[in-house]
Chains A and B, each alone.
Chain A
Amino acid sequence: MIRISCAGAGALLLDAAHGAFNDSVQERIWAVARRMAALPEILQAVPGVNNLLIVFDAVQYDPATLEHSLRAVWKDTLVDASPAREIVLPVTYGGTFGEDIPVVARFAGLTEEEVIAAHVSGEYRVAAIGAMPGFAYLTGLDPRLAIPRRASPRVSVEQGAVSIGGGQAGVMPCTSPTGWHILGKTEEILFDAHRPEPCLFRLGDRVKFRRVG
């Protein structure tokens, strides 16, 4: 069962979530996004976490017609067959960039070393890209580390910060506010507007962290 709602005259949000994140729903989201994006009337098809936003020009196209195409494509699409790449990010845990490790340890009832071990041994997947340039929502976080977001977001967290929040993992592609908890830092550049492919990550990539320093 899916729900489709209007996001203004020129966008539709397809929501396929039922409670917690579901991997196979996400693979279907990617496949539907790819097919929708290929339609000439679609400006962009933006996968979220178990949902999909499509944006079009309402001057030329009727929302009702596009809702119909979206439902038809959803019904007719099952999985995404595109092969996943694997990306390994070196991370320095702790120190000034790991200021939230003690908080996470208390929340999870683990030692600080166990928190790092749980994070670094995870096998993650890029479910969606968004929020800020090049930010990837990584699923696959050890459920013991599913600490809620901070009650009040930090005003500024530096580029490269390796973070967790709301049951997901991520890496800050640029210096920005965030309510996620910081465990470490990577030197990898996740986004560069001037690269041929600006984002380091692609949807569906498998991501691992490697402890350094």
Chain B
Amino acid sequence: MIEVLTGSPLNAIQDLGRPRTMTLGVSRGGAMDSAALKLGNLLLGNDIDAAGIEIVFFPFKIRFHADQAFAVTGARGVARLDDEPLPPDWAAKARAGQILTLHAPANGARSYVTFAGGLDVPVVLGSRSTDMKGGFGGYQGRALEAGTRLAAFPSDAKDMPSSGYGLAHPCDLPENVAEVRCLPAAEFDAFTDDSRALFFEQLWTVTRTANRLGYRLESETPLSLRSPLELLSHGIVPGTVQVPSAGMPIVQMADANTCGGYPKIANVIEPDLRLLAQTQTGRQIRFIRVELDEAVAAVRADAIRMHELGLALQSARATLLAR
């Protein structure tokens, strides 16, 4: 049993989301930095899509009421099990009574705590993710409040080295300016030549309103269309960069509406969505144009990297346990 000690309307249970619910108007949802959640699960020998906690509001504290293996991944801040500091991208075993504390990250915006076995909450529409808009999934369809008690599915804790282990080289997080690759979208050519050039040349600042629905960006010069455009509502995926009439782009994120009507200038490619998810408010990003074959190659390279990481962690665990 795990007890949440710090409440926040932003920290909630997520897995990899709902890949087939757009026809119901239900967002994909899931971990904003899906690679960090996957890594947290791989460190524990979980299924890659087991449910963990996405943390955006710090400090975050939980108390373990029973022995439990867990991992901390994603944004990097000071993490302590009682007084003992934990390295980044690390799995460890907590004893009953111990408290895990995550402080605000210096780098990155979202941390993930995963648990051996994965969190035991009901599957709703194919996923354990919290859908705040619909008020379902996760823990009773809402964020985690102080006092919320959660259980993990049983797992074989003997599979975890008692001293803990993790990545020697933690996952990259955006420093200074995040470079985010994207493909031109349906209305790219409807923007003026200047706007198309500026989209890639200007640095874009992540505004205060950036959240799980979307990242509103700001820069010096707004983008403009050659002529006004009225579009009928159409399906949009996370990564879609819309430009409302004021000319400042909004990147749709995990909990975005499934349909929209604003002109689309670009789509952030799937493996780079995590870079946006880990960019703090006030930091800057740059869009890098890629072609479709490069985007497909990047998606495949990302999948292969994650698969190889899973195998490497499995053999590292076996080696450590054999000692």
Residues of A within 8 A of B (CB): 3, 5-11, 13, 15, 17, 21, 43-53, 55, 58-59, 62-64, 128-135, 137, 166, 173-174, 176, 191, 193-194, 198-199
Q: How many A-B residue pairs have CB under 8 A?
A: 154
Residues on B with C-beta less than 8 A from A53 are: 22, 234-237
Across the interface, do A8 and B183 meet the contact criterion of CB distance under 8 Å? yes
The answer on a CB contact under 8 Å between B133 and A13 is no
Q: Is the CB of B186 within 8 A of A5?
A: yes
B51 contacts the other chain (Cβ, under 8 Å)? no
Q: What are 30 pairs between A and B in contact, CB < 8 Å? A: A3-B186, A7-B235, A7-B237, A8-B267, A8-B270, A9-B295, A10-B237, A13-B186, A13-B235, A15-B234, A17-B232, A44-B19, A47-B23, A49-B232, A53-B22, A53-B235, A55-B237, A59-B299, A59-B300, A129-B23, A130-B235, A131-B257, A131-B258, A131-B259, A132-B133, A132-B258, A137-B259, A191-B134, A193-B124, A193-B134
Distance A55 CA – B270 CA, assembled complex (angstroms):
12
Contacts of B239 in A (CB 8 A): 7-8
Q: Tell me if A193 and B232 are in contact (CB < 8 A).
A: no
User: Are A7 and B267 in touch, CB under 8 angstroms?
Assistant: yes
Chain B neighbourhood of A9, CB < 8 A? 183, 269-270, 292, 295-296, 298-299
Considering only CB atoms, which chain A residue lies closest to B257 in the complex?
A131
B44 CB → nearest A CB, Å: 24
The 7 A-B residue pairs whose C-beta atoms are closest, nearest first, are A53-B235, A130-B259, A48-B234, A193-B136, A46-B235, A5-B186, A49-B232
B residues apposed to A, CB below 8 Å = 19-26, 124-125, 131, 133-137, 183-186, 231-237, 239-240, 257-261, 264, 267-270, 292, 295-296, 298-300, 303
Q: How far is the CA of A62 from the CA of B299 in the complex (A)?
A: 11
Q: Once the chains are docked, how many angstroms separate the CA of A10 from the CA of B271?
A: 11
Shortest Cβ distance from residue A2 to the other chain B in the assembled complex, whole angstroms: 12
Residues in A neighbouring B264, C-beta threshold 8 A: 7
Complex: chain A residue closest to B301, CB-CB? A59
Distance of A176 Cα from B25 Cα, bound (Å): 13
The reply to whether B258 and A46 contact each other, CB–CB distance below 8 Å, is: yes
Given contacts A11-B237, A58-B270, contact A133 B186 (CB under 8 A): no
Residues of B within 8 A of A131 (CB): 25, 233, 257-260
Of A45, A133, A174, which is within 8 A of B24 by CB?
Answer: A133
Most buried by B among A3, A8, A17, A134: A8
**B26: contacting residue among A62, A63, A133, CB under 8 A:** A133
Residues of B within 8 A of A11 (CB): 237, 267
CA distance in complex: A58, B271 (Å): 11
> Which residues of the partner chain A approach B269 to less than 8 Å between Cβ atoms?
8-9
Complex CA distance for A123 and B230, rounded to whole angstroms: 24
Query: Do A58 and B25 touch (CB < 8 A)?
Result: no
Question: Closest Cβ of chain B: how far from A163's Cβ, in Å?
Answer: 14
Distance A127 CA – B236 CA, assembled complex (angstroms): 16
With A and B bound together, what is the CA distance between A15 and B25 in angstroms? Answer: 19
Interface centre among B136, B258, B261 (most CB of A within 10 A): B258
A48 near B22: Cβ-Cβ < 8 Å:
no
A6 CA to B239 CA, complexed, in Å: 12
- Tell whether, in the assembled complex, residue B303 and residue A59 are in contact, meaning their CB atoms are under 8 Å apart: yes
Which of B22, B26, B234, B296 lies in contact with A55, CB distance below 8 A? Answer: B22
Q: B186 to chain A: which residues have CB within 8 Å?
A: 3, 5, 7, 13, 15
CB pair A199–B240 under 8 Å, yes or no, is: no
Known: A7-B236, A9-B296, A193-B136. 9 other contacts (CB 8 A): A8-B267, A10-B299, A15-B186, A45-B23, A58-B270, A59-B303, A130-B22, A193-B125, A198-B24
